Amino acid sequence: MKVLLDVDPGVDDAMMLLLALGNQSIDVLGITTVCGNVGILKATENALKITAAAGSQVAVYRGASRPLSGKCMHATGIHGQDGLGDSHLPKPMNKPERTKAAQAISEMAENQRLSIVATGPLTNIAMFLDSYPDMAKRIERIFLMGGVYCPKSTGNVTPFAEFNFYCDPEAADRVMASGIEIVAAGLDVTMDGRCAVDCSMLAKMRGIKTAKASTACKIISNPVSRQSIFHLHDVFALFAMLHPEIFESRTCRVRVETAGKQRGRSIASFGIGNIKVLSKVNAEMFQEKLLRGLS
């Protein structure tokens, strides 16, 4: 499977990248960055730091520096000033490609159908669809982290809105209405504490003597000590692609509120549609895949 990773690293984006890069069951063609947890320059530098730490040659393409409308909000309170848990990983030697994200996505999709793992605001994907409308059919499936779909669950920016959809609701609505097959991991599953990193999971990670596990521990140890638990929202999107058997999902259509008090709210109509939203996770299997992916 040919895969593009669209990210706003971010600690959980970084964990997703470490698990994806070098995974033998997928062929990662590229990484595109988007403003979200941090600004675009820092998100791009962080993606380069992670590819370097993973010993990966995968190209990094800089993407949108702001949402389709409005301004970018950041989450350095959660992800640290450097966006990677204040781990201060070495400055990367490698540079981003000159091609911008939307064009890079079109070039990757030119020769083969492309699957996308999107774990930040969906600005790059929306810009790709708007700039290359005839290429939507070249996208096999999008596995994304975003939204919240169970009526009993609440957002993490406002009671209605999850961060990625709140940052760029227009882009989220555009992608969800595109007709492309989508698997969405919303907060209703990604906030499952059994799949988060707490001190006991961190201790297990420290016991794995690989470069990937060591980098993961460097990135996540400060957030875990500061917040006692760190949710791996973005890893759910990757595992939905790599390990679909550990999830249950529900079929629906989704629209996203773009203005007013409920800006960024994901509104699901269940029963029909091209979108599967994750509804349950086998937590034991999730933990096992996480530790094995770092080994």
* Catalytic residue list: 8, 233
Q: Which is nearer to ligand RIB, 109 or 145 (CB)?
A: 145
- Which whole-number Å values give the CA distances from 194 to 73, 229, 230, in the listed order? 28, 10, 11
Task: Write down the least CB distance from residue 10 to Ca ion, Å.
Answer: 4
Q: Annotate each residue in 86-125 with x if it binds Ca ion (CB under 5 A) or - if it does not, as one string.
A: ---------------------------------xx-----
- Selected range binding Ca ion among 9-17, 56-64, 77-85, 284-292, rule: CB under 5 A: 9-17
13 is a site residue for Ca ion (CB under 5 A): yes
Q: Which is nearer to ligand RIB, 37 or 215 (CB)?
A: 37
Task: Write down the least CB distance from residue 73 to ligand RIB, Å.
Answer: 10
Neighbours of 200 (CB within 10 A): 7
- Selected range binding Ca ion among 3-11, 94-102, 150-158, 217-225, rule: CB under 5 A: 3-11
Q: Which one among 3, 5, 6, 10 touches Ca ion, defined by CB under 5 A?
A: 10
Q: Which does 156 bind (CB under 5 to 8 A by kind): ligand RIB, Ca ion, none?
A: ligand RIB
Residue ranges binding ligand RIB (CB under 6 A): 8, 10, 12-13, 36-37, 75, 119-120, 145, 156, 162-164, 233-234
Give the 3-state secondary structure of residue 143: strand
Q: Which is nearer to ligand RIB, 223 or 293 (CB)?
A: 223
Q: Which two tokens stand for residue 290?
A: 């996480």
Q: Which is nearer to Ca ion, 158 or 251 (CB)?
A: 158
Asked whether 256 and 172 are in contact (CB, 8 A), the reply is yes
Ramachandran region, residue 138 (left: φ > 0; alpha: ψ -120 to 50; beta: rest): alpha
Of 177, 173, 180, the C-alpha closest to 257 is 173
Q: Where are the alpha helices (DSSP H) in the chain?
A: 11-20, 40-53, 76-79, 101-111, 123-131, 163-167, 169-176, 187-190, 199-206, 211-227, 233-242, 283-294
φ/ψ of 228, rounded to 5, equals 60, -15
Task: Write down the least CB distance from residue 121 to ligand RIB, Å.
Answer: 7
- CA separation for the pair 182, 104 (Å, rounded): 21
